[in-house]
Amino acid sequence: MSPAGNKLIRGALLALLIIAALFAYRHFQRGKGEEEAPKPRTVGVAAAGIGSVNVYFQAIGTVTPPSTVTVRSRVDGELVALHFVEGQFVQEGDLLAEIDPRPYQVQLQQAKGALATDEALLKQAVLELERYRKLIREHSVSEQQVETQEGTVGRQEGAVISGRAAVAEAELMLTYCRITAPISGQTGLRQVDPGNMIRASDSTGIVVITQMRPMNVVFTLVENRIGEVLRAMRAGGPLKVEAWGQDNGVLLESGELLSLDNRIDTATGTVKAKAVFANKEGRLFPNQFVNTRLLVKTLQDVLIIPSAAVQRNNEGFFVYAAEDGKAKLRAIRCGYSEDGRTVVEEGLKPGETVVTDGVDRLRDGMPISWRTPEENAAATGDAP
């Protein structure tokens, strides 16, 4: 082929390449424009409504029994018997343990014998005094003898009083050989076994009894909330307190606020509060950590939306309202939040629809389509 023919062919091929490139570019631009065209995003929505919200103050609390007693012996001696099982619930006055009573029985007999001797001597001294008083009228004895005998009677009366006290003390020590429960509650692990010698000075004791019903919980309140709590206490009587598990998933017990401490801890800026619980099922255990919720008041007829709809930026809180098929950014002022619900004080009206699911992908003015509340619940796994 001649050089002129080659040039013609190369020119034709170049023209075809240019045409193909232009066609591909236009196709790419058309496809890109189609991809960038806004498509409605499917979101979950809910309507703002009027309702009531409970206002709770939350804090971490410690379960504290009303009474804890370490049972100790008041006398020295051999522990001969235990009458309880570890972990047993006992009533006040129940027999728990016995100390060998024989040494104290002997002491009681000795005290009674000494008292009998003193009473006999007193009787003899009184009869002698009466005889002296008769003889002095006959001038057979001197006044000094009478006065001396009166002193003897007084000394013997004192000896009798001391003897009676010694008998009472011996009887008391004998009763101490039977150790009874000072309070009603649950026994812990025993600290000593029968056969051991125990003393009144022993610090460990025999067993610890803890009162389990009712049960107290001690928690703290921030000082700026004290006034509101006091006003609520004066207005409506005892306030309701809930004790929840550490993961806030299980309600352990409901009770009442018992009292507030009489001072603020300056180191923490908090005040201690104590609540009492019946604890009939024994769910509260001494020294257990629980999450407490103190019901202070109930807000009535307020505007409520799901907390999932509330977002925050540099300017404050906002929601996306569903209007005319678009997401409209709406600044709001939030109030109290509780159990996934938030009070809206400004920025919304009752009945307006807000986006609750898919909020993170939205922009102001973006087209949206939404699911019904039932469909949204099924999509988020909250359907019953």
Q: Which residue range(s) make up the domain with 157? A: 106-176
Same domain flag for 116 and 183: no
User: Domain end: 154, 176, 198, which one?
Assistant: 176
pTM value?
Answer: 0.70
| 14 in a structural domain | no
| 16 in a structural domain | no
Same domain flag for 223 and 291: yes
Same domain flag for 88 and 124: no
Residues whose CB is less than 8 angstroms from the CB of residue 241 and which lie 6 or more positions away in sequence, other chains included? 217, 254, 255, 256, 257, 275, 277, 292, 293, 294, 295
| 141 in a structural domain | yes
Same domain flag for 258 and 152: no
Same domain flag for 275 and 345: no
Same domain flag for 244 and 341: no
In whole angstroms, what is the distance from residue 384 CA to residue 382 CA?
Answer: 6
The domain tally of the chain equals 4
| 373 in a structural domain | yes
Same domain flag for 162 and 233: no
Answer for the pair 62, 316: CB distance below 8 angstroms, yes or no: no
User: Domain end: 281, 298, 315, which one?
Assistant: 298
Return the CATH number at 365: 2.40.420.20
| 32 in a structural domain | no
Nearest CA to 57 out of 258, 217, 304, 222 is that of 222
Same domain flag for 89 and 181: yes
* Alpha helices (runs of H) in 176-321, residue ranges in sequence order: 226-236
Return the CATH number at 286: 2.40.30.170
Same domain flag for 218 and 282: yes
In which element (H, E) is residue 150 found? helix 143-175
Report the sign of the C-alpha dihedral through residues 9, 12, 17, 20, in that order.
negative
Give me the pLDDT at residue 357, please: 87
| 31 in a structural domain | no
Give me the pLDDT at residue 244, please: 95
> Distances from the Cα of 169 to the Cαs of 105, 108, 162, 175, 281, in angstroms?
12, 8, 10, 10, 44
| 169 in a structural domain | yes
Same domain flag for 317 and 292: no
Q: Which single residue is written with the structure tokens 């409901």?
A: 254
| 289 in a structural domain | yes
Return the CATH number at 202: 2.40.50.100
Same domain flag for 61 and 187: no
Q: What is the pLDDT along the chain (384 residues), one digit of tens a residue?
A: 555 556 656 666 666 666 666 666 666 555 554 445 457 888 889 899 999 988 999 999 999 999 999 999 999 999 999 999 999 999 999 999 999 999 999 999 999 999 999 999 999 999 988 887 888 777 777 888 888 888 999 999 999 999 999 999 999 999 999 999 999 999 999 999 999 999 999 989 999 999 999 999 999 999 999 999 999 988 877 899 999 998 888 999 999 999 999 999 999 999 999 999 999 999 999 999 999 999 998 889 999 999 999 999 888 999 999 888 888 999 999 988 888 899 999 999 999 999 988 888 788 888 888 766 666 666 555 544
Same domain flag for 146 and 158: yes
User: Domain end: 119, 153, 176, which one?
Assistant: 176
